[in-house]
Amino acid sequence: MEAKELKLSGQETERLYDKNSHLKEFEAVVLSCEKKETIKGEAAGYRVVLDRTAFFPEGGGQFGDRGRLGETEVTDTREKYGIIYHETVTPLEPGCTVKGRIDYDVRFDRMQQHSGEHILSGLVHSLYGYDNVGFHLGEEVTTLDFNGELTEAQVKDLERLANRGVFENVPVQVLYPTKEQLKSVNYRSKIEIEGQIRIVSIPGYDICACCAPHVDRTGEIGLIKIIGCEKHRGGCRMTILCGFRALSDYQRKQQSVTEVSVALSAKPERIGEAVLHAKEQQGRLREQLNRMQQLYLGRKLEELTAEDRNVCIFEEELDSVAARNFINSAMEKCGGICGAFIGTDETGYHYILGSRTTDLRVFSREMNERFQGKGGGKPEMVQGSLMGRAEEIQEMILKA
């Protein structure tokens, strides 16, 4: 039967997770099992409908539950017209009773993220009047989009207040108010929903229409950490981690801080300062090195005479700007080809050649052919890289 027909015949799946979000195992009767095919007609598992289930289907920014049904694996759960479909690897016999078991670690992690999101969205709404206009509970992080911008200080304050909500260990209530009762409730996510509206209330923090399973008490959420809040589509996008995800993030970051702290011999709380200091020092050293290179190349230039027609230097390390400056100055003094080769025989050389008398495009083509090189440029200046022995390269240049 089609989903719509099942719904019309009153066969909507009974949602066990609505009454008990911590239910890990259950028994149910298989109502139907259909084969799934890809567009190309290849087998793509099965779609199983049960009379009741603890598997939460994909919806409202959250992925569907995974787990097991009897001997088969449930890879995803989806919903259509109130019917919940379990996507399985192998088929199940309609009419049979099966044991279901959800992947509770994944589910509990998602409940931590989702309940944490409610607390933050509720606080943002009550303190600043912004609505949550986007929610995505991903495998790594959870993002919340608001239709207003938040300052750094507001974000910090929100984080502290949200965690206070956790430490107060507030009971999370699920309510099914009548249409009449609903009129007097000020809740978030007001959309026209047919039938019964499910309200998730965290007294003092949030009240919102939501169909997803939540923790029973806010203490189960654990730490709520905001790891980023950037401008997004006229409002902002907040990235959060709750529970074990926040703990793992803290552990990773502590590891990084320790590594930097050890490497720079700085106290963990002062690594920011230490990194800036090291960067300054690096800048000074680079300037110093440049001065030394200029001095060194200046001496080399002094040694050149007009009789040195072709000139080349080989250096393991040399700043490319300093090398170009050297070539420009050497070209003033000598009439032939001036070259700088940076590297070693083993690693190969990066080269720059200059000349006012020889067409270097022709010469560098010959040189590249002989030394497996590549590169090019203008007739008066070329650059590239090649492999070869310094002696042989020098010989070729001097003979040119």
Which residues here bind Zn ion, judged by CB under 5 A? 210
Contacts of 349 (CB under 8 A, 6+ apart): 314, 341, 342, 343, 385, 386, 387, 388, 390, 393
Nearer to Zn ion, 113 or 163 (CB): 113
CB 29 within 8 A of CB 95: yes
Rg of the Cα trace of the chain? Answer: 35
Long-range contacts of 288-293 (CB under 8 A, 24+ apart): 289/319, 290/319, 290/322, 293/318, 293/319, 293/322
Distance in Å, CB of 72 to Zn ion, minimum:
30
Nearer of residues 143 and 325 to Zn ion, judged by Cβ: 143
Q: Cβ of residue 248: shortest distance to Zn ion, in angstroms?
A: 23
Nearer to Zn ion (CB atom), residue 180 or residue 192? 192
CB 271 within 8 A of CB 264: yes
Cβ at position 111, least distance to Zn ion in Å: 10
| Minimal distance, residue 289 CB to Zn ion, in Å | 58
* Structure tokens that stand for 388 in this block: 């070869």
If the CB atoms of residues 131 and 319 are measured against Zn ion, the closer one turns out to be: 131
The answer to whether 93 and 125 have CB atoms below 8 angstroms apart is no
DSSP state of 109: H
Question: 210 vs 393, which CB is nearer to Zn ion?
Answer: 210
Closer to Zn ion by Cβ: residue 210 or 311:
210
The residue whose Cβ lies closest to Zn ion is: 210
- Nearer Cβ to Zn ion, position 209 or 266? 209
* CB 199 to Zn ion: min, Å: 11
DSSP codes joined into one string, 149-200: ---HHHHHHHHHHHHHHHHTTPBPEEE---HHHHTT---BS----SSPPPEE
Strand (E) or helix (H) holding 342? strand 337-344
Rounded Cα–Cα distance for residues 215 and 221 (Å): 7
- Nearest-approach distance from CB 61 to Zn ion, in angstroms: 8
CA angle 42, 45, 46 (to 5 degrees): 125
Between 31 and 174, whose beta carbon lies closer to Zn ion?
Answer: 174
Amino acid identity for residue 313 in this structure: I
**Minimum CB separation from Zn ion for residue 176, in Å?**
16
Least Å distance between CB 68 and Zn ion?
A: 26
Count other C-beta atoms under 10 Å from residue 156's C-beta: 13
Name which of 49 and 210 has its Cβ closer to Zn ion. 210
Least Å from the CB of residue 246 to Zn ion: 19
* Whether the Cβ atoms of residue 342 and residue 317 lie closer than 8 Å to each other: yes
Task: Give, in order, the Cα–Cα distances in Å from 121 to each of 135, 138, 245, 333.
Answer: 10, 17, 19, 73
To Zn ion, the closest distance from the beta carbon of 114 in angstroms equals: 6
Q: Which one, 117 or 315, has the nearer CB to Zn ion?
A: 117
